[in-house]
Amino acid sequence: MSLTHRPLGRTGCKVSPLCLGTMNFGPQTPEPDAYAIMDRALAHGINFWDTADVYGQQRGLGVTESILGRYFAQGGGRREQVVLATKVYGFMDPEGKPDPNLARGLSARKIIAGCEASLRRLQTSYLDLYQMHHVDRDCPVDELLSAFATLIRQGKIIYVGSSNFAGWDIATFNSAARHQHQLGLVSEQSVYNLSNRTIELEVIPACRHYGLGLIPWSPLGGGLLGGVLQKAATGRRSSEAVKKRVEEKRPQLEAFEALAQGLGESPANVALAWLLHNPVVTAPIIGPRTLDQLNDSIRATEIKLTPETLKRLDTLFPGPGGEAPNAYAW
């Protein structure tokens, strides 16, 4: 099938409606299997890939970025087909030395050094989207803008994105960027799913106002929306933390999985399709550990939920009541 690509926020860059998350590459998915997943993603038309310098569960080593880099080094136009996103902010000190500039944060020094290191690991000369992995309110916005402007001028990054920003952080950054005649943020990556709708209060309105594409992470609520009850019935094991959450939400999950079954769809694909109905959403991040998981996710892009189904999902998983301040004030 052919996916319909969409703009990344207010840019002219076209990306797939699903973003390939790579956090499992290395810790959960062996490198040869990761290569097979990436090959299949390209075959499906999934050209938007997300990673981070800290992925790989070995602090400071950039394990997951390095896997992607070795994949791109095989050639065959692999890198050229991908809109590649990575992130900077976290600890990147493998020796555990007390270097404050390798700790968490977003100084210009860290951003520029982090970009150079990511480029080496990814074996590429540029990043399509360079994202701040978290807010650093101790770092002046002018310093951030200066660092990203330097990297853009050098041809090392094209677009700047944020992750885990509040609505007012987005407004602060993009207002300052506009004052300096810069493009500013083009995307925000935030936790968003049926069971966690907090960002509907202020982050989504900010994204819409400033033209940011929303890239939801954890679109299945850490597995809660992925048919967890069905999997338990077939003997598939879950962590104790997941089991506890399941018991807390069992009636809700039973109703959700029954709804999905009535539609003839998997719970995971209904949860992804719900996100894709929001015009602010550019692409939910899927994190397949296997080829089967990747193949199954493609179906979500074809599902059209009726107004009645959307209303039922709102009833099962109520949001915060709309946008601030109307959600809590007259």
Residue 231 lies in a domain: no
CATH number at residue 207: 3.20.20.100
For 201-221, what is the mean pLDDT? 98
Whether the predicted pLDDT of 126 surpasses 80: yes
55, 71, 89, 130: which one is catalytic?
Answer: 55
pLDDT at 238: 65
pLDDT at 1: 60
- Annotation marks residue 55 as catalytic: yes
Residue 329 lies in a domain: no
Whether the predicted pLDDT of 82 surpasses 60: yes
Whether the predicted pLDDT of 169 surpasses 90: yes
Whether the predicted pLDDT of 237 surpasses 80: no
Whether the predicted pLDDT of 327 surpasses 60: yes
Distances (CA, A) of 235 to 165, 168, 228, 232: 39, 45, 11, 5
pLDDT at 51: 98
For 301-307, what is the mean pLDDT? 97
Alpha-carbon distance of 266 to 293, in angstroms, equals 12
Whether the predicted pLDDT of 235 surpasses 80: no
Alpha helices in the chain (DSSP H): 31-44, 63-72, 108-122, 141-153, 167-179, 203-210, 228-233, 240-248, 250-263, 267-276, 291-298, 307-316
Largest CA distance in the chain: 59
Find the domain containing 37 and state its range: 6-223+269-304
Residue 170 lies in a domain: yes
Residue 238 lies in a domain: no
Phi, psi of 176 (to 5 degrees): -65, -40
What average pLDDT does the chain have?
95
Residue 325 lies in a domain: no
Q: What percent of the chain has pLDDT over 70?
A: 97
Residue 45 lies in a domain: yes
Q: Which of 89-98, 186-195, 263-272, 275-284 has the lowest mean pLDDT?
A: 89-98
pLDDT at 60: 87
Residue 102 — very low, low, confident or very high, per pLDDT cuts 50/70/90? confident
Residue 324 lies in a domain: no
Total structural domains in the chain? 1
Residue 93 lies in a domain: yes
Q: Which of 142-156, 198-212, 236-250, 262-276 has the lowest mean pLDDT?
A: 236-250
Interhelix angle 63-72/31-44, nearest 10 degrees: 60
pLDDT at 93: 81
